[in-house]
Amino acid sequence: MSNPILFCNIGWMEKYRGISRTDQIIGGGRYVRIEGRGHEVCNFLEYKGKVFGYVQPVGEQIKIERLGATKDSESIEGIDVVITATRPGGGSVIIGWYKNAIVFRYFQYFITPSKKHTENRVDGYRYSAKASDAVLLSVDRRTFEIPRGKGGMGQSNVWYADNGIDPKWLASVRKLIDDGENLSTRKKSKATPDQAQKVLVEKSAVAVVWGYFQSLGYELSSVEQDNLGWDLEAVSGSIKLQIEVKGLSGKAVTVELTPNEYRIFSENRPNYRLCVVTNCLVEPTLYVFRFNLPSQSWTNELSEDLEVLKIKQKVSAAVSLI
């Protein structure tokens, strides 16, 4: 029998391991707007083998009796907590989950909080789970949209999804959780670019990037011939990414952009990605760079510590006789 599901809506971050130069909280309600922080900023920070999550319910308590607990219970175990947030560009999506979590009726205070929790003034939590049962989706994996209004999540940050919900939609949420437990090992779909040309660095790079985004559930198309300033477009629901691909035979992440490519890159579009594939002919390594609003820099989506891209502008000119 499947675990009951509790949906918890929180502010938007990238790593949820505390506020940093490259990771600030966006949204999350009035408290976050005033304080510039929220208790959810450490929701995916591992501490003593566990993760501790926060959501702000209406009132002081989460009504755990709607999850199967008795009315006098202080907590309930075996709950799948699905965590949602609103993307900076709009639309509520699933950003991760805790499987087999324990959910508390009332706010729980840490007895001995971690240094990182203390630095971020996070003194407690509302649900917890083993760190091994928690999954945080990378930003480009956050494509599963949450319905709002009738039959979906309302104004409350806590949604029990026990009345009027489409069972097929709920089944798709369960499938996402089950299929997503080992996202890093998910089998990648076969890339469309001509595999016979894979010996060429750029073709290899496109194949790697294509396969990566296709594995995330995006539908891709090549627009390289349209001279738009990017090579691929990736669509998933209402999300449309513009992807520029650069392939390198060496291991150093150093690429050059054409004037048109750099113009687009400089616009800092939230849905633009600069994908660099190094060591293409031996063992390709993928870097996915996107503009990070909090730090106003380009960071690597696939790195744990949000590696920052260094940009060096060059000036050129065409010279001729008049």
Please choose, from the candidates 12, 16, 70, 76, the residue with its C-alpha nearest in 3D space to the C-alpha of residue 41. 16
CATH number for 195-300: choose from 3.40.1350, 3.40.50, 3.30.160, 1.20.58: 3.40.1350
Give the integer Cα–Cα distance in Å for 216 and 218. 6
Q: How long a stretch of residues is the chain?
A: 322
Which tens digit of pLDDT belongs to each residue from 124-155? Answer: 999 999 999 999 999 999 999 988 877 778 88
Give the integer Cα–Cα distance in Å for 3 and 297. 41
Give the integer Cα–Cα distance in Å for 265 and 229. 8
Residues in CB range of 311: below 8 A, 6 or more apart? 298
Per-residue HEC secondary structure of 185-244 comes to HCCCCCCCCCHHHCCCHHHHHHHHHHHHHHHCCCEEEECHHHCCCCCEEEEECCEEEEEE
DSSP string, 89-136: TS-EEEEEEEEEEEEEEEEEE-SS--HHHHHTT--EEEEEEEGGGEEE
Least confident of 110-119, 213-222, 241-250, 303-312: 303-312
Residues in CB range of 287: below 8 A, 6 or more apart? 253, 275, 276, 277, 278, 300, 302, 303, 307
φ, ψ dihedrals at 242, nearest 5°: -110, 120
Burial of 96 (0-12, 13-18, 19+ CB in 10 A): buried
The confidence score (pLDDT) of residue 226 equals: 84
Task: Tell me how far the alpha carbon of residue 123 is from its chain's centroid.
Answer: 25
Helices (H), the chain: 30-35, 115-119, 167-179, 201-215, 259-266
The 3-state DSSP class for residue 77 equals: strand
The confidence score (pLDDT) of residue 268 equals: 83
Which tens digit of pLDDT belongs to each residue from 224-262? Answer: 888 888 999 999 988 999 999 999 888 888 888 888 888
CA atoms within 13 A on the CB side of 295: 20
The confidence score (pLDDT) of residue 29 equals: 63
Least confident of 37-41, 119-123, 192-196, 281-285: 192-196
The confidence score (pLDDT) of residue 32 equals: 65
Give the integer Cα–Cα distance in Å for 222 and 210. 10
* Share above pLDDT 90 across residues of the chain, in percent, rounded to a whole number: 51
DSSP class of residue 153? B
Give the integer Cα–Cα distance in Å for 248 and 236. 28
Least confident of 15-29, 80-94, 194-208, 259-273: 194-208
Letter for the amino acid at 185?
T
Which tens digit of pLDDT belongs to each residue from 40-80? Answer: 999 999 999 999 999 999 889 999 999 999 999 999 999 99
Tokens coding 193: 């670019």
Q: Are 228 and 264 in contact (CB under 8 A)?
A: yes
> Is residue 321 pLDDT above 80, yes or no?
no
Give the integer Cα–Cα distance in Å for 109 and 118. 12
> Is residue 190 pLDDT above 60, yes or no?
no
DSSP string, 11-34: -B-SS-SS-BTTB--B---HHHHH
Between 159 and 186, residue with greater pLDDT:
159
33: pLDDT confidence band, cut at 50, 70 and 90? low
The confidence score (pLDDT) of residue 315 equals: 67
Tokens coding 130: 């083993």
Q: Residue ranges per domain, the chain?
A: 5-184, 195-300
Beta-bridge mates of residue 297? 292
